[in-house]
Amino acid sequence: MTGTRDLCHPEAVRVAASHQAEARQIAAELAAIARTGMVLPGSITERRTRCGHRNCACHADPPRLHGPYWQWTRKVAARTVCRWLSADQRHDYQAWIDNDRRLRYLLARLEALGTAALEADPRWQRRPQTAPDTGQAST
C-alpha cells in the first residue's frame, strides 16, 4: 500500500495560510468585543406618536407629533418584544447593538471561510462511487 492515499480516512483538512490569518484577525476582534460585555440583540428605533387629545398639535395640519421616543425591539422565543428607552439610554445602548451586529458579521465571515475550505476540498475531485447501501434489497 505504499504511494497510495486512503481517501476514506484522509489526514486533517489543511487550512490555507490566508484563511488562518483572517481567522486570527476575526478571533482578536471577537474577543475584544466580548471582553467589553457590551452586546445587545435587536434594534433601537425612533418613534413619534399622536395622543388622544383632538385639539393637540399632533392632530394639526401639518401634525407636530410627540417624541422622539426610543424603542428597543428584539425577538424572544420567536415573538417581538419592545421596551421604551430614555434618550440617554438610547445613546448609551446603541453602541451595544452595533457590537452585536459586528459579532454576527464576524461569525458569518468565519462560516464563509469554512464553507470555502470545504468547497476547495480535493476529495470532491475523486471518482463517483456507488450509492451508499440504503438497506433496501434491489431486484
Cell numbers given for 120:
476547495
- Find the binder of Zn ion among 7, 21, 34, 51 (CB under 5 A): 51
- For residue 68, cis peptide bond before it (omega within 30 degrees of 0): yes
Map grid coordinates 480535493 to a residue: 122
Helices and strands (H and E) in the chain: how many: 2, 3
Contact 89, 83 (CB under 8 A): no
Report the nearest approach of Zn ion to the CB of residue 56 (Å). Answer: 3
CA angle 54, 57, 59 (to 5 degrees): 45
Report the nearest approach of Zn ion to the CB of residue 48 (Å). Answer: 10
Q: For residue 58, state whether it binds Zn ion (rule: CB under 5 A).
A: yes
Report the nearest approach of Zn ion to the CB of residue 89 (Å). Answer: 23
Q: Which is nearer to Zn ion, 56 or 117 (CB)?
A: 56
Report the nearest approach of Zn ion to the CB of residue 64 (Å). Answer: 8
Q: For residue 56, state whether it binds Zn ion (rule: CB under 5 A).
A: yes
Q: For residue 65, state whether it binds Zn ion (rule: CB under 5 A).
A: no
Cell numbers given for 24:
486570527
Query: Which residues, 26 to 45, sit near Zn ion by CB under 5 A?
Result: none
Contact residues: Zn ion, CB under 5 A? 51, 56, 58
